[in-house]
Amino acid sequence: MVPPPPMESRFYPKTTPPSVLLVILDIHPLSWSLLSSPPPLPPFTEHPGIDKAQATPMSLPDFVTILMVFLNAHLASRWGNEVVIYGASAGRAKLLYPPPPNAVAGPSKPRPNSYHPFQLLDSRIEQGLKEMAAEEQERLENGNVKSLNEPPSMVSALTKALCFVNRIQPSSSTAAALIDPTSQDASGSNSNGPDRPETRILIINATPGSNISNSDQSNGVSGENGDDGDNNSKGQGSKGGQMRGGYVGLMNCVFAAQKAKVPIDVLSLPPPSIDASPPIFLQQAAHLTEGIYWQWNGRGALLQYLHAIYLPPPSLRHHPFAVPPQDAVGFRAVCFCHHKTLDVGFVCSVCLSIFCEPRSVCLMCKTRFPIKSIPTLKTLATYIEPIPVPDTVPPPVIQKGSKMHQINENAKKDKSKAVNGDRSDPIEID
């Protein structure tokens, strides 16, 4: 949230460094089945033009087609731009592009009407997705039905993406520091060599609810698919692992990304009609890394949105290009004991673990807490009643017929509505 620069300092960069875009695509089958048959949207009375657009079913093939065009546009926007794509499916993540070195080469013959790099990228994504689908199929046939209910493994994909970033631009703290201890002093020492690519990560989330950690959320998802029996057992079984790999893992990734100055952009596909609550931890990730968080409103035009919001590289964002206004960010956390999302929690003063209820011994570091304070804490806890958040984004100055504004406004309204809807519900569904 950089304030707009003063008007007089208007200068535009002549060149930008090449940009590497790492896309993490959520291809969880359950989420996509939801997205391809969306419930009708509530009427959007404030703007009749927007209301005319109907809820758009978005199937994975449709979306991948759109994504390919977007990625081609990214490649087209500068020489030396690169794309890396990870697919995140139920409980696993895989590199889709660039292909592993030993993989069979793509189509040997270039087509006369498509730029060869585009063609390579597109065919390889298709191939990679098919491979991954086949693997999932295999998993299912091996009787591993439960695994399908795991949330998509965003954290794993994020760690992989960050490792990749680290490989192409090693952080100064490790390698350089060992070679030359004083090099850390000169913070700009990284900029040697003529052209250093800038990297960013784009997470495309398709799973409703904060797809990490909230077992009740994923239960909700699969519940709609009439699959109740398995869920409960699974929910219990994978809780610990999810939490650890979920909230903490995501946060660790966020800090690593912060350190590497890699913005994490988040595009959340489930429209408010499917997903009342935004994925707050992904939102936090975008906020903390100065990325862009945006939730689709379910009314088509994804291709335009992608180009408008996510195409400009980080060096052109904020200045000179505007980014869509970001909404209020809930800095909520997940407790270590029941993996609930908390507004108010109990924190161990020694190890800073978070709990949702007062206890006498810290689960993590075994510190004993004074027993006599527990009743006080308990009474404190009973007052915890989350308050609704007011509509936070002020309505922009509406210019008649300005499309950019329509988009922004549209996005904002939907988002703030989503926040409200979420906040008025009690958060702990447990």
Partner 1 sequence: MVQPSFSHPRSDPTPSTSASPTATLDTFLDNQHQSYFEELYRSEAVCLCILRSLPPVCRHIILHHLWSHQPLRTAEVKSFLQMDIKASLQEVDEVMRPALNRKILHPIVHKKAKMLYPFNDSFKKGLRNALTGLGTSNSFGVPYDREENDEVPSQEELVAYGEDAFEGILKYMVSSGLGIGFSVARPQSEVLELLHTSGLMIDPNDPTGQNPNINRLTITSKGFQFLLEDRQTQLWEILMYYLNAKEANSERSAEVLSMFFSLGCMQLGQDYSASQSFPRALSALNDLAQYGFIYRPSPDSDQFFPTHLATALCSGDAVATKGQDADEKRFLILETNYKIYAYTSNELEIAILNLFVDIRIRYPNLIVGKLDRRNVKSAMEKGISASQIISYLSSHAHPQMYNSPPPLLHPTIVDQLHLWDRERNRLKLEDTVMFEFFSKELFEDTEAEANANAALQLALPKEKFLFIEPQTKSAITEFVKERQNQLRSGL
Partner 2 sequence: MPLDSNYTPAVEDEEEDDILDDDLPGPSSRGKKGGIAGNKANGKGKDPGRHAWEAEYKKSWDIVQEDESGSLESAVESLLARGRRKRALMADTPLRRSIIRHLFIILDLSESMNDKDYRPTRFEVILGYLRSYVVEWFDQNPLGQIGIIMMRDRLSEVLVPMGGNPQEILSVLSDKRKLEPSGEPSLQNGLVMAKGGMSHLPTTSSLETLIIFSSISTADPDGPSTIHTVLQDLVTNEIRTSIIALAGEIKICKQISERTGGKFGVALDQDHLKDLMWETIPPPATTISNPTTIGVRNALAAASATGKNGVTGKTPVGDLMVMGFPIQLPLGGETLCACHGLLKKGGYLCPRCGSKLCDVPTDCEVCGLMVVSSPHLARSFWFLFPVANYGVLAVEEVMDSSTSDTCAGCDVEFPDVTSIEEGVAQVEDGVSPTGRYRCAKCRNDFCADCDLYIHDTLHTCPGCSQ
User: Is 322 among the residues that bind partner 1 (CB under 8 A)?
Assistant: yes
Residue 291 makes CB contacts below 8 A (sequence gap 6+) with 200, 201, 263, 264, 265, 266, 285
Q: Report in angstroms how near the CB of residue 300 gets to partner 2 at its nearest.
A: 26
Identified binder of partner 1 from the candidate list 72, 231, 242, 297, rule CB under 8 A: 72
> Which CB atom, from 72 or from 289, has the smaller least distance to partner 1?
72
Q: Report in angstroms how near the CB of residue 137 gets to partner 1 at its nearest.
A: 29
Distance between CA atoms of 203 and 282, rounded to whole angstroms?
A: 9
Identified binder of partner 2 from the candidate list 306, 348, 407, 411, rule CB under 8 A: 348
Q: Report in angstroms how near the CB of residue 425 gets to partner 2 at its nearest.
A: 15
Extract the runs of DSSP E, i.e. beta strands, from 197-252.
Answer: 198-205
Quick one: which segment of 109-117, 156-164, 255-263, 275-283 binds partner 1 (CB under 8 A)? 109-117
Contact present, 323 and 295 (Cβ < 8 Å): no
User: Is 362 among the residues that bind partner 2 (CB under 8 A)?
Assistant: yes
Name the nearest CA neighbour of 17 among 320, 313, 322, 318: 313
Q: Report in angstroms how near the CB of residue 391 gets to partner 2 at its nearest.
A: 9
Looking at residues 242 to 271 of the shown chain, list those that interact with partner 2 (rule: CB under 8 A). Answer: 244-245, 247-249, 251-256, 259-260
Identified binder of partner 2 from the candidate list 370, 382, 397, 426, rule CB under 8 A: 370
Extract the runs of DSSP E, i.e. beta strands, from 163-314.
Answer: 198-205, 264-268, 293-295
> Which CB atom, from 120 or from 203, has the smaller least distance to partner 1?
120
Distance between CA atoms of 156 and 245, rounded to whole angstroms?
A: 8
Question: Long-range contacts for 319-325 (Cβ within 8 Å, ≥24 apart)?
Answer: 319/2, 319/5, 320/10, 320/12, 322/4, 323/292, 324/292, 324/294, 324/407, 324/408, 324/411, 324/412, 325/393, 325/396, 325/408, 325/412
User: Is 115 among the residues that bind partner 1 (CB under 8 A)?
Assistant: yes
User: Is 47 among the residues that bind partner 1 (CB under 8 A)?
Assistant: no
Q: Report in angstroms how near the CB of residue 1 gets to partner 1 at its nearest.
A: 13
Complete DSSP assignment for 286-297: HHHTT--EEE--
Instruction: Point out which residues pair with 342 in neighbouring strands.
Output: 333
> Which CB atom, from 12 or from 383, has the smaller least distance to partner 1?
12
Identified binder of partner 2 from the candidate list 190, 392, 406, 420, rule CB under 8 A: 392
> Which CB atom, from 281 or from 305, has the smaller least distance to partner 2?
281
Identified binder of partner 1 from the candidate list 118, 126, 235, 364, rule CB under 8 A: 118
User: Is 187 among the residues that bind partner 1 (CB under 8 A)?
Assistant: no
Distance between CA atoms of 362 and 373, rounded to whole angstroms?
A: 14
> Which CB atom, from 114 or from 233, has the smaller least distance to partner 1?
114
Contact present, 208 and 152 (Cβ < 8 Å): no
b/e code 247-277 from CB counts within 10 Å (16+ = b): bebbbebbebbeeebbbbbbbbbbbbbbbbb
Q: Report in angstroms how near the CB of residue 266 gets to partner 1 at its nearest.
A: 20
Q: Report in angstroms how near the CB of residue 345 gets to partner 2 at its nearest.
A: 6
Quick one: which segment of 136-144, 149-157, 304-312, 338-346 binds partner 1 (CB under 8 A)? 304-312
Name the nearest CA neighbour of 314 among 362, 382, 265, 256: 265
366: left (phi over 0), alpha (psi -120 to 50) or beta: left
Q: Which two tokens stand for residue 156?
A: 């794993």
> Which CB atom, from 119 or from 127, has the smaller least distance to partner 1?
119
Identified binder of partner 2 from the candidate list 284, 295, 408, 410, rule CB under 8 A: 284
- Interface residues with partner 1 (CB under 8 A) are 4-5, 7, 10, 12-16, 18, 69, 72-73, 76-80, 109-116, 118-119, 122, 192-195, 303-304, 307-308, 311-312, 316, 319-322, 397, 399, 401-405
